[in-house]
Structure 1
């Protein structure tokens, strides 16, 4: 065996490395915000998408938009905190793809803000259960359905809060920091199966940031920390997920990609 024999052949000339045609994706928390934008972006470049959300009606609305635009999607009601439900959802996504799930996006999340002296255990656990255990449940269930041909992807969602900390949301910061550790550990483990695992740390105008944007003082302080001086639209965030899901990112794993206007530099 020569060194050159370990280098895969280059893709054919003219191949669209950003296409997801022939691939199936499952996105959690896809009933709105970034998750919905990712679902629509994936479908627009050819993926079949299982749109999951704890709110079935919200998932159905996103799925309907995708189908109306000519894409393939199905809605699915999912509480990621329930392991058995996560396994059923992953199985449904794989069935949509003829037995294979190529891309899992762990996006579901909640917030329960409070300064730490007033942070009770229930509030702390609620956030960790949704973000961290939800990512665990779906990722673990996906293992038997992910292909080992270099197209398997797990994309987690973290936050600047997990990278640099936050005030008033220690539960959220802890959960997002844990997702970074999960991402890097899974990237090392699943590399032997040619599955890449990365995370995106977005900052966008969504329902989760609505309370900040509605508070004049908080909104001004937040914008001061964003070098580009504005919030992103969810669709701007979605393109980074398309990149990480595509062949263009086939040699990238274990990385955290902040898409936050330069907030974390």
Structure 2
């Protein structure tokens, strides 16, 4: 691993690192020379249960490769608990340099049938969890005048998807959180970026094929293994990305994407002000060609990964 990354001896917290994308990132961090705090509570995809086994497996893999790791089984979805995750890094390794907010659960339901409990559970882990862990790390980052946050957003939030109002809202909220961190902490040398990962994992493994063509496509999608997202996460955490902050990226097998961000694209002016009728008669026709079509992530990323 090239020393251009500057991660040798640094300490990285990776939440949800007991498997999938998080495990891939934790292993790649260790490969780059970082000491890793593996945070995972070992719950099901829906957030039920709990076990230290997934984190222990990741730790064993890191140590087998000659790396150093510690385990935190504290939940990201509670403020006091999230502080313990950061304290684990400080107690074990004496510092914290990188936070990767990857932990997540899914409770997919079509919007008009979504239970408020399922809304709260998903928002608590993804959005609140990203805030809690980031906020806990903000003080040591500020004191040492350096640090990097890598947050996981999703094309479900950036673009849209069916049955994921809770997940989509949380993931788009993470984009706003990341941008605010980037703005507020730039003067302390702290960076914050987002990744929209593509991976065949337990988060997507529930997709069912109804036709032979869909089954064939799923087999191609399975090539997007979780660890294909890890190089981008490690890069964004590294010194090689010291000038990159407030951005949104995606990794899709062998493709990398940089996303645009919300900015005005058309404007109309009426000196005497607007009425609802004038908006209908003059503004709407001017805007109509530039309206964003309603679509899902799969409509935008319509080609198979290669």
Give the TM interval when normalised to the shorter protein. Answer: 0.7 to 0.9
Backbone CA RMSD of aligned residues: 2.3
SS in 2 for 1:81: coil
Per the alignment, residue 235 of structure 1 pairs with 227
1:222 Cα deviation after fit:
11
SS in 2 for 1:144: helix
Q: Which of 59, 63, 88 is the equivalent residue of 1:63?
A: 59
Per the alignment, residue 11 of structure 1 pairs with none
CA contact (8 A) 2:200 2:221 kept: no
Q: Which of 71, 75, 81 is the equivalent residue of 1:75?
A: 71
With normalisation by structure 2, the TM-score equals 0.75
CA contact (8 A) 1:162 1:180 kept: no
Per the alignment, residue 247 of structure 1 pairs with 239
1:219 Cα deviation after fit:
10
The separation in 2 between residues aligned to 1:196 and 1:251, in whole angstroms, is 8
1:65 Cα deviation after fit:
1.0
Distance verdict in 2 for CA 1:159–1:223, change over 3 Å: farther
Distance verdict in 2 for CA 1:239–1:223, change over 3 Å: farther
SS in 1 for 2:240: helix
Per the alignment, residue 201 of structure 1 pairs with 196
The separation in 1 between residues aligned to 2:125 and 2:210, in whole angstroms, is 29
With normalisation by structure 1, the TM-score equals 0.86
1:233 Cα deviation after fit:
1.3
The separation in 2 between residues aligned to 1:60 and 1:230, in whole angstroms, is 25
Q: Which of 1, 5, 20 is the equivalent residue of 2:7?
A: 20
Distance verdict in 2 for CA 1:75–1:155, change over 3 Å: same
Find out whether 1:87 has 2:83 as its counterpart.
yes
The separation in 1 between residues aligned to 2:106 and 2:212, in whole angstroms, is 17
The C-alpha deviation readout for 1:165-214, integer Å capped at 9, x for no partner, is 111111111110000111111111110111000011001011111101xx
Per the alignment, residue 138 of structure 2 pairs with 143
CA contact (8 A) 2:199 2:222 kept: no
The separation in 1 between residues aligned to 2:118 and 2:211, in whole angstroms, is 22
The separation in 2 between residues aligned to 1:155 and 1:223, in whole angstroms, is 33
Distance verdict in 2 for CA 1:150–1:177, change over 3 Å: same
1:129 Cα deviation after fit:
0.5
Per the alignment, residue 12 of structure 1 pairs with none
Distance verdict in 2 for CA 1:21–1:128, change over 3 Å: same
1:96 Cα deviation after fit:
2.7
CA contact (8 A) 2:6 2:240 kept: no
Moved more, 16-25 or 177-186: 16-25
The separation in 2 between residues aligned to 1:217 and 1:149, in whole angstroms, is 54
1:260 Cα deviation after fit:
2.8
Q: Which of 26, 30, 34 is the equivalent residue of 1:43?
A: 30
CA contact (8 A) 1:180 1:199 kept: yes
Q: Which of 25, 31, 40 is the equivalent residue of 1:53?
A: 40
CA contact (8 A) 2:82 2:132 kept: yes
Structure 1 spans left out of the alignment, 5+ residues: 1-14
SS in 2 for 1:31: coil
SS in 1 for 2:60: helix
Q: Aligned pairs, how many? A: 246
CA contact (8 A) 1:116 1:170 kept: yes
Indicate the structure (1 or 2) with the bigger Cα radius of gyration: 2
Find out whether 1:216 has 2:204 as its counterpart.
no
